[in-house]
Amino acid sequence: MRKMRIAMAAMGAVAALTLSACGGDGGSSGGETQGGSAGGDKIRIGIKYDQPGLGYKSGNDFTGFDVDVAKYVANELGYSTDQIEFVESPSANRENMLSNGQVDMIFATYSITDERKKTVDFAGPYFVAGQDLLVSAENTDIKGPDDLNGKNLCSVTGSTSAQRIKDEHAENVNLLERPGYAECVTAMQSGQIDAVTTDDIILAGLAAQPNFKGKFKVVGNPFSEERYGVGLPKGTDQCADINAAINKMVESGAWEEALTANTEGVDYKFNEELNPPKPGDACA
């Protein structure tokens, strides 16, 4: 009987040690994200899957500037790369995905606006983009939106960027729509259109793709301001930590390295008056 009691006590001690080990520092993860668990095994980050140079999925690989910034921030929060679960986050679904806990944060060319801030929070910005034009590398006639009268301008179906140019800059421009920006660039390559319009960094990412490299240039005359933020669930306490991570990425040079790597081979320079960004300590 005495031997049985000793054996049971030993088993209890082993169990206690096992529980203590499991409930210690939670592994290598030192952060806590809204919608996730403190020091959890995974962090779910929303990105685009179809924006080359920003957020792009090819097989099991994820590439782009948004992806690089997301990895850097996640690492600063205590998550290694293999603890990141990237989740496709289409523009129309981003607010719902954050509100429903489908993702912990979103890096997906997500512009900070007062309307969106009613339902979600934003850290950042981590980049300030501007609407611009992509033209052929040899084009010397188009230097800005005012030069588009009589020209064929492409943007994606449902976008307001091309219509903005027609309303505010060149009323005689011919607008063409395609399902995606890649289709616009392909149409320009074949001579069907003269220019493509959307945010400058999206254009640069497209033109940096191997099949387009060296054939196009970003005009470099942005005429809007889009502050890309990190989308977060409303009421988060993560803004200060994420902003600190972005600032560290900028100060270390990793921010510019990531931007350069994802726009390599394109005649593109980010707007130095607005970038690198300088996030504060609170939500944007």
Could you report the per-residue pLDDT of 227-279, keeping only the tens digit for each? 999 999 999 999 999 999 999 999 999 999 999 999 988 888 888 989 999 99
Tokens of 267: 């005649």
Architecture of domain 131-218: 3-Layer(aba) Sandwich (3.40)
pLDDT at 40: 61
- How distant, in Å, are the alpha carbons of 28, 202, 205 from that of 237? 21, 30, 32
What would be the CATH architecture of the domain defined by 43-129+227-262?
Answer: 3-Layer(aba) Sandwich (3.40)
pLDDT at 180: 85
pLDDT of residue 38: 40
> CA torsion, points 220, 247, 86, 81, in degrees to nearest 10?
120
pLDDT confidence tier of residue 187, bands split at 50, 70 and 90: very high
- At 213 the pLDDT is 83
Q: What is the pLDDT at residue 265? A: 84
Could you tell me the pLDDT band of residue 27, with boundaries at 50, 70 and 90?
A: very low
The reply to whether domains 43-129+227-262 and 131-218 share a CATH topology is: yes
Q: Would you say how long the chain is, in residues? A: 284
pLDDT at 227: 95
pLDDT for 12 beyond 80: no
CA–CA separation, 239 and 120 (whole Å): 12
Q: Where are the beta strands (DSSP E) in the chain?
A: 43-47, 50-51, 55-58, 61-63, 84-88, 105-106, 120-129, 131-136, 152-156, 174-178, 195-199, 216-218, 226-233
Which of 203, 183, 179, 220 lies closest to 52, judged by CA?
A: 203
Burial of 112: CB neighbours in 10 Å, binned 0-12, 13-18, 19+ = buried
Whole-model pTM above 0.75? yes
Domain positions in the chain are 43-129+227-262, 131-218
Check: CB of residue 128 under 8 Å from CB of residue 247. no
126-160 pLDDT, tens digit per residue, is 999 999 999 999 999 999 999 999 999 999 887 78
What is the mean pLDDT of the segment spanning 42-66?
95
Is it true that the peptide bond before 222 is cis, omega within 30 degrees of 0? no
Q: How far apart are CA 188 and CA 196, in angstroms?
A: 8
188-202: per-residue pLDDT in tens? 999 999 999 999 999
Check: CB of residue 143 under 8 Å from CB of residue 133: no
CB 176 within 8 A of CB 113: no
> What's the first-to-final CA gap in the chain, in angstroms?
67
